[in-house]
Amino acid sequence: DAKTTQPPSMDCAEGRAANLPCNHSTISGNEYVYWYRQIHSQGPQYIIHGLKNNETNEMASLIITEDRKSSTLILPHATLRDTAVYYCIPSRGGTSYGKLTFGQGTILTVHP
Amino acid sequence: GAVVSQHPSWVICKSGTSVKIECRSLDFQATTMFWYRQFPKQSLMLMATSNEGSKATYEQGVEKDKFLINHASLTLSTLTVTSAHPEDSSFYICSASLLGLAIAYNEQFFGPGTRLTVL
């Protein structure tokens, strides 16, 4: 599995965009980049995933560099409820390879 | 949609007893369910992968005889912590992959977790 590097913590003002970087320089060609988040004492929540192209959904946008060695998760208008640990996880698809290996993630704190 | 529940949400037991935790996919069928463990201030660690109707695959270092996993149906997997000890106290979380969609990509839906405290 590809190794990931994320900043341990980040702060963001409420209403501003939160940009969370992730380095995954050893990602293989068939691995997607998944982003999950975990609010304190809850199970993780899926946010978004991508392979090569940038992706956007109702929660966030995902920007993947052309060489796929890094990505950035963007929360366009952060709210206090977005305070959580954010995990960037490269993983292959399919039930046989669908393991998610959680690293330490980034603790995002959104301030009023 | 895609809701996963766990029961109980918390449990306190005496050392030496066994505890069963249930994981259910409420509105979808899951071919694969995963069990994770999370100690305070640490990340989630995968314990085992459970496929319906077959034996679970355990991660290295996880004792299969201590953590019994049963995945008898497409909507239910159970984790039994046998002869629990204080060091087994942790937050146990399950997840489930959607039948069919897991072929294309791996979106896992997580339960709310079960906090186990062994006295």
Q: What digits encode the pLDDT tens for the residues A80-94?
A: 999 999 999 998 765
pLDDT of residue B27: 85
* pLDDT (tens digit per residue) in B34-60: 999 999 999 999 999 988 888 899 999
Amino acid identity at B71? H
pLDDT of residue A98: 65
Q: Closest Cα to residue A79, out of A10, A12, A20, A22?
A: A12
Give the nearest partner residue to A44 out of B44, B45, B49, using CB atoms. B44
* Contact state of B105 with A49 under an 8 Å Cβ cutoff: yes
Above pLDDT 90, what percent of chain A?
Answer: 79
Nearest CA to CA, how far is A110 from chain B (Å)? 19
Question: B10-30 burial by CB neighbour count: b if 16+ within 10 A, else e?
Answer: ebebeeeeebebbbbbeebeb
Model confidence at B9: pLDDT above 50: yes
Above pLDDT 90, what percent of chain B?
Answer: 71
Nearest CA to CA, how far is A111 from chain B (Å)? 21
* Chain B neighbors of A49, CB-CB under 8 A: 105, 107
* Chain B neighbors of A95, CB-CB under 8 A: 31-32, 51, 97, 102-103, 106
Model confidence at A1: pLDDT above 80: no
Model confidence at B79: pLDDT above 50: yes
Q: What are the backbone angles phi and psi of residue B69, rounded to the nearest 5°?
A: -120, 130
Query: Choosing among A88, A95, A96, A101, which should be mutated to test the B contact, i.e. which has the most B CBs within 10 A?
Result: A95
Task: Determine the straight-line distance between the first and last CA of chain B, rounded to whole angstroms.
Answer: 37
